Amino acid sequence: MKSLLFTPLDIGPIRVKNRIVMAPMCQYSAVDGTVQDWHMVHYPARAYGGAGLVILEATAVEARGRISPEDLGIWSDDHIPGLTSLASTISDAGALPGIQLAPAGRKASTSRPFDGFGPLMPDNGGWQVIGPSAVKYAENYPMPRAMSIDDIQEVQEAFILAARRAIAAGFKVIEIHAAHGYLIHSFLSPVSNHREDIYGGDFAGRSRFILEIAREIRSVCGDDAALFVRISADDWMENGWKIEDSVKIAELLKSVPVNMLHVSSGGISPHGKPSQSGRGFQVSLSETIRREAGIPTTAVGLITEAEYAESLLQAGRADLVALGRELLRDPYWPQRAALALNAEAPVPLQYARAWRNT
């Protein structure tokens, strides 16, 4: 049986050489939003390791949208040279370069995990956070300022400018971050969106923000890049966003058209707990959306074994498989996976003599 994990896939205007995606994972290592040496080593290493698509961490479309002061940014033309160099190096290393565009919303202004994590207050290097409504993420987090219509339009314009910069820098996948309790997800979820205007209320109102952004970025991408959206398919809360809502939003995003949904879950509240845990605990969400909405999906969540990743694709539960922490532990996981599946290993020529099937 031919391995699907190592079979190319056409996604809109792009072709990915295999189905392995490096999921966005914050590195908290930028200075004023700019690319540093760490990024220039970290991301290309995963490309040389064999991943078909490498997606940069959540990259802030505006300074107040950073999760931490050390997040990567794309809110200024000054960020383009570093991002261009990084995208080019990833491409030269054999992977498609992708970037995740994000504002953190009410979960912004925090310290780095390795500096203690938790919210930063204005008197300690933090800043005023914003959200759809004045609803805290958690008790120890600051109260977000409810966004005005002008604020909403300002963030949407920031997304458009960021997408243009990303295309100029050479990224081939633009992913909108609409998951994990950050700004766009907080508009979708009734847990955090208590608005009574056109951006709140029922499903249509809460979905308006993401749909307007997706349509604008689709226009920017044109034939130069594929458009992905990462969603939290279930809040895991009784009064939250459900998988049924995700199927509905997937159908709407498909019509934009969005080329791929990257299916995660949770993050809207520390009280949301998944109904299951362990290997592939989110895969059923990807499978449901793919089947019922008819849109390609990327599965993510504790996928660590080559045979399991392959089985997801063979069963039609996803079109791509994203790895997060596993690729932090082992940049060369794709090469080991190829050996396990008797596929041709994606090995640089310089390393070929170390692999038995190259």
Write out pLDDT tens, residues 243-294: 999 999 999 999 999 999 999 999 999 998 877 778 888 999 999 999 999 9
Write out pLDDT tens, residues 76-124: 999 999 999 999 999 999 999 999 999 999 999 999 998 888 899 888 8
Write out pLDDT tens, residues 113-140: 988 888 998 888 899 999 999 999 999 9
Structure tokens at 325: 């922490």
Specify the long-range contacts of residues 304-308, CB closer than 8 Å, at least 24 apart.
304/279, 305/279, 306/5, 306/336, 306/337, 306/338, 306/340, 306/341, 307/340, 307/341, 308/279, 308/280
- Among 48, 182, 199, 332, the active-site one is 182
Model pLDDT, residue 122:
84
Per the DSSP assignment, residues forming a β-bridge with 97 are 54
Query: Which secondary-structure segment (H or E) carries 14?
Result: strand 14-16
For the cut 70, the answer to whether the pLDDT of residue 150 exceeds it is yes
Closest to 302 measured CA to CA, from 320, 284, 326, 319: 326
Give burial (CB, 10 Å; 0-12/13-18/19+) of 316. exposed
For the cut 70, the answer to whether the pLDDT of residue 358 exceeds it is no
Looking at residue 147, the DSSP 8-state letter turns out to be: P
Model pLDDT, residue 143:
96
Write out pLDDT tens, residues 224-239: 999 999 999 999 999 9
- Say what the pTM is: 0.97
Write out pLDDT tens, residues 42-52: 999 999 999 99
Q: What is the mean pLDDT of the chain?
A: 96
Query: Helix, strand, or coil here: 72?
Result: coil
Residues 6+ apart with CB under 8 A from 196: none
Q: How confident is the model at residue 356 (pLDDT cuts 50, 70, 90)?
A: low
For the cut 70, the answer to whether the pLDDT of residue 357 exceeds it is no
pLDDT above 90 coverage of the chain, percent: 90
**199 catalytically annotated:** no
